[in-house]
Amino acid sequence: MSSVLPTFPELIDSKSRYQAKSALYSRVPRTLAYFSTITIAILPFFAIALLAVPWQQVSMGNGKVIAYAPENRLQTVEAPISGRLAQWHVTEGQEVKQGDPLVELADIDPDIISRLRRQYQALQVSLEASEEALQISKRNLGRQRTLAEKGLSSQRAYELAQIEVAKFESEVSSARADLAEMEVKLSRQQSQTIQADRDGIVMRILAPQGGIMVSAGEALAVLVPDTEDRAVEMYISGNDLPLVQPGRKVRLQFEGWPAVQFTGWPSVAIGTFGGTVRFVDQADDGKGNYRILVFPDPEEPDWPSAQFLRQGVRTVGWVLLDEVRLGWELWRRLNGFPVTVSGSTASFEKEKGTE
């Protein structure tokens, strides 16, 4: 079998094509080379940034807006007596002032107030009679003492006079207690028109109108008092609890309020508000989280008015901890280490534990 050998020009042409293909395959794309050059150029700056750029460590938590003073929180209007719900004087969402009528109750027995008044008057008469008898017995005791000192009366008569005074004193005390109890009963029965204890807004009516029967202590409505005394109730992880003490600064983002929070750089945050930790609960909520109370920071801009920042508005908060370098923070997160604590904070906790 015969074979045809390639000529010399053909060999040269084949080698040229092979070299051309190899050069084409080994050529680096211009875009990739451009980005590789930029990456290599910025690596030193990135390393410097890791060592020099500060990073603010935080402890993040969720919560809501509340009123700090208990009397300014949501109040439940309860029925002081058992009776029939006669008429509502307010509707849901209505603003009320202190003393405004809210609801009127009608007693089941229409004659109970008149009977209580008669009993009250009878107790008053009984008390007056007991007090008069006590005064007479005291004067008799004085006479018996004088006669006994002069030898004109026996010691037995003097002792009987003392017993009589003690008896009437007991009757007076009992009559006064009965009269006070009757005053309370009469006052409760006369409180058939329930009034608002504070300025506020009727949030919800729990008992419908229509002559239904209600028991004493039954909830009738919910009132939200008017107040500017607000705080944030926030829960944080127990892992961060040793680092959170009263006085720590906090950044707050309120629900419905546009905001952008940069975790590591709170100074460039937009739309957040400042606060300070007032106190930390001594026990958890059963799930390993601890409640902290955050007050407005007097050195920061005021929080939104109560018209927009109402009780119950959900909140996201960042408790500002120690400041570290960006490289340390990246290394800590990659290794899963807890946030750091400064020497001053550690010494504070040590001194507090030794007290």
pLDDT at 129: 84
Query: What Å distances lie between residue 115 and 112, 119, 156, CA to CA?
Result: 5, 6, 45
How far lies 120's CA from each of 90, 142, 145, 187, 201, in Å? 34, 33, 37, 11, 38
Q: With contact defined as beta carbons under 8 Å apart, do 247 and 128 qualify?
A: no
Is the predicted pLDDT of residue 240 greater than 50, yes or no?
yes
Report whether pLDDT(178) > 50.
Answer: yes
The confidence score (pLDDT) of residue 315 equals 93
* The predicted structure's pLDDT at residue 229: 84
9 pLDDT above the threshold of 60: no
Pick 336 or 205 by higher pLDDT. Answer: 205
30 pLDDT band, cuts 50/70/90, is low
Q: Is the pTM of this model over 0.75?
A: no
- Output 34 or 228, whichever has higher pLDDT: 228
Q: What is the pLDDT of residue 354?
A: 43
Quick check: 316 pLDDT over 80?
yes
Q: Which domains does the chain have, with CATH numbers?
A: 54-69+228-354 (2.40.30.170), 72-225 (2.40.50.100)
| pLDDT-based confidence at residue 347 (cuts at 50, 70, 90) | very low
233: exposed, middle or buried (Cβ count in 10 Å: 0-12, 13-18, 19+): middle
- Three-state SS letters, the chain: CCCCCCCHHHHHHHHHHHHHHHHHHHCCCHHHHHHHHHHHHHHHHHHHHHHHCEEEEEEEEEEEEEECCHHHCCEEEECCCCEEEEEECCCCCCEECCCCEEEEEECCCCCHHHHHHHHHHHHHHHHHHHHHHHHHHHHHHHHHHHHHHHCCCCHHHHHHHHHHHHHHHHHHHHHHHHHHHHHHHHHHHHCCEEECCCCEEEEEECCCCCCCEECCCCEEEEEEECCCCEEEEEEEEHHHHHHCCCCCEEEEEECCCCCECCCCCHHHCECCEEEEEEEECCCCCCCCEEEEEEEECCCCCCCCCCCCCCCCCEEEEEEEEEEEEHHHHHHHHHHCCCCCCCHHHHHHHHHHHHC
Rounded average pLDDT over 96-120: 80
pLDDT of residue 128: 84
Residues of the chain with pLDDT > 70: what percent?
74
Above 60 in pLDDT, residue 3? no
**Does the pLDDT at position 12 exceed 60?**
no
Burial 40-62 (b: 16+ CB within 10 A, else e): eeeeeeeeeebeeeebbbbbebe
Among 29-33, 37-41, 162-166, 340-344, where is mean pLDDT lowest?
340-344
- Residue 56 binned pLDDT confidence (cut-offs 50, 70, 90): confident
Q: Stretch 123-132: mean pLDDT, rounded? A: 84
Q: What is the mean pLDDT of residues 279-291?
A: 89
Among 60-64, 71-75, 272-276, the least confident range: 71-75
> Mean pLDDT for the chain?
78
pLDDT tier, 348 (very low <50, low <70, confident <90, very high otherwise): very low
Q: Token pair of 306, please?
A: 């109560």
